Amino acid sequence: MFELNLPDTLNAADYFIDRNVREGRGSNIAIECGDERVPYDALLERVNRVGSALRDQFGVRIEERVALILVDGPEFIYSFFGAIKIGAVAVPINTLWKPQDYAYVLNDCRARVLIVSASLLPQISAIPRDTLRYLQHIIVVGHAAPVDPPDLPPSPEGYGGQVVRSGTDRDGRISFSTVIAAGDAALQPEATRKDDAAFWLYSSGSTGFPKGCVHLHRHMPFCASAYASGVLGITANDRCFSVAKLFFAYGLGNGMYFPFSVGATAILWPGPPTAANVYSTIERYRPTLLFSVPTNYAMLLAHERVPDFDLSTVRLGVSAGEALPPALYERFKTRFGVEILDGIGSTEVLHIFISNRPGQAKPGTSGRLVDGYDARIVDDEGKPVPAGEIGNLLIKGDSICSMYWNRRDQTRATIEGEWIRTGDKYSQDDEGYFCYAGRCDDMLKVGGIWVSPMDVENALIEHSAVLECGVIGRYDHDRLIKPAAYVVLRDGIVGSPELAASLREFVRGKLADYKRPRWVEFVPSLPKTATGKIQRFRLREIAEQTEIHL
């Protein structure tokens, strides 16, 4: 069994940033983003400046949360490790959400300080004053276009607190460059323990309310050693490009702490992961490790050019977030000569715990256990199922979150001692490969991101034409799951392709784009239980028998 011996006193920022400089890798390039190239010694200085400014200028205390709503870029990394270095807790937040989502999470984590990209600031400014009970300081990365002043509760010092005022705009927002300038270049890491909280990641729940997964200082080093080194064989010569963004658990490893574990280079792209953008980034920065999700690999395969795109530097592709269809694996390998290693991870376990191996990939499976993890497949009574049969997957390993913040009942229902219920149905073949068989609940994995059917249904119900609706997952032409909606209309309203398109756009205006239904089917009624609960399994049966209108 793989085991990483870490000291009791451990600060993750020291492990991933300071250690590279101490061990002589200060001149190695840590980050490439746009025209910017940041070596490890400059990275260390900027992490120190952010950390010391958070502590000395904003009064951030040990274990206090610092919220990050940031597009991928060096500032994300400075902020993430700057908070961790002073013993605070970094909370990266999904950049695709809407104001109501941000209001919920900012209140749930109780952050007084938010660091936000200028392009995302309007989402925060749209939140009413009486919604944010704890937030006092907003630090803005980049140039902010004029927006209405953010409605924040008054603090004893007034909005903005007692901070350096140069670089503070008329609405009290502080520029990130001012924070960097005000911080100290030298900063000793707080003497945190390996079991102290280092960061939270929010995981979507079946009720639509995200849950804060509390991760410890020991978790990132464990994942980097178990997966990045143990499976990918990462070295200081590698260049990592992750299509999945840093706020995802998957992207956080791929694009940050995996390369930093060995002094390699992280290639960051702040824009949308369109096929053209991904190809452009690959050809410009020449990564050796490409991390993506099946939906994006399908987009890349659908995008063609003569001569073809040059992926010759990519030694391995990695896929997670949703099951990789065998056809996509074969088509990508045939076209580019790149093997994609499919695997499964989760926000709760932080990164991939079951994976295919280089030269040993078995298409259509999630691979075999990553060293350092153990697995059980059990029935609904908790008894092991016979080999080859489908059951509920439980995982044990040293990167499982310690709890869901303020969710005791859900923590107890999901984490059982050393084991965590993944919520996935799996079987294992006679060669030890794990085969995905679906979810234990109705949650959907769309483009690698969890979607609650209830979330989409609640949005649709707000439309004046909709009486009731049910949402399920449906395969598209690439055998990838996307949301499909079955809608019962109010009396007197007739369904049409135009109305279906209008409903899709209606949801798009209320929820993150990835949650919008790709198909809408109008039905006279929904199948329900005797107590009135929608029977989504019946909708899935109907979907297999009927045509859904685009």
Work out the end-to-end distance of the chain between its first and last CA atoms, rounded to an integer number of angstroms.
Answer: 50
Residue 439 tokens read as 């979810």
How many other C-beta atoms are found inside a 10 Å radius of the C-beta of residue 307? 5
Instruction: Give the residue extent of every domain in the chain.
Output: 12-194, 218-439, 452-545
Second CATH level (architecture) for the domain 12-194: 3-Layer(aba) Sandwich (3.40)
The C-alpha atoms of residue 437 and residue 454 are separated, in whole angstroms, by: 22
The C-alpha atoms of residue 505 and residue 182 are separated, in whole angstroms, by: 45
Q: Cβ(339)–Cβ(297) under 8 Å?
A: no
Report the relative pairing of strands 419-428 and 434-439 from DSSP bridges: antiparallel
Second CATH level (architecture) for the domain 452-545: 2-Layer Sandwich (3.30)
pLDDT of residue 208: 58
Conformational region of residue 492, where left means phi above 0, alpha means psi within -120 to 50, and beta covers everything else: left
pTM of the model: 0.84
pLDDT of residue 165: 42
Query: Per residue, what are the HEC states of 70-100?
Result: CCCCHHHHHHHHHHHHCCCEEEECCCCCCHH
In the 8-state DSSP scheme, what is residue 342? E
Spans of the chain below 70 pLDDT? 1, 144-172, 205-208, 529-533, 545-550
In the 8-state DSSP scheme, what is residue 15? I
Q: Cβ(95)–Cβ(245) under 8 Å?
A: yes
The three-class DSSP label of residue 69 is: strand
Looking at the domain that runs over 218-439, which CATH code has it been given? 3.40.50.12780
- Cβ neighbours of residue 261 closer than 8 Å, sequence gap 6 or more: 16, 221, 224, 225, 228, 229, 234
Residue among 367, 134, 338, 102 at smallest CA distance from 210: 102
Q: Cβ(506)–Cβ(487) under 8 Å?
A: no
- Cβ neighbours of residue 431 closer than 8 Å, sequence gap 6 or more: 362
How many other C-beta atoms are found inside a 10 Å radius of the C-beta of residue 406? 12
The answer to whether domain 12-194 and domain 218-439 are alike in fold is yes
The C-alpha atoms of residue 203 and residue 384 are separated, in whole angstroms, by: 27
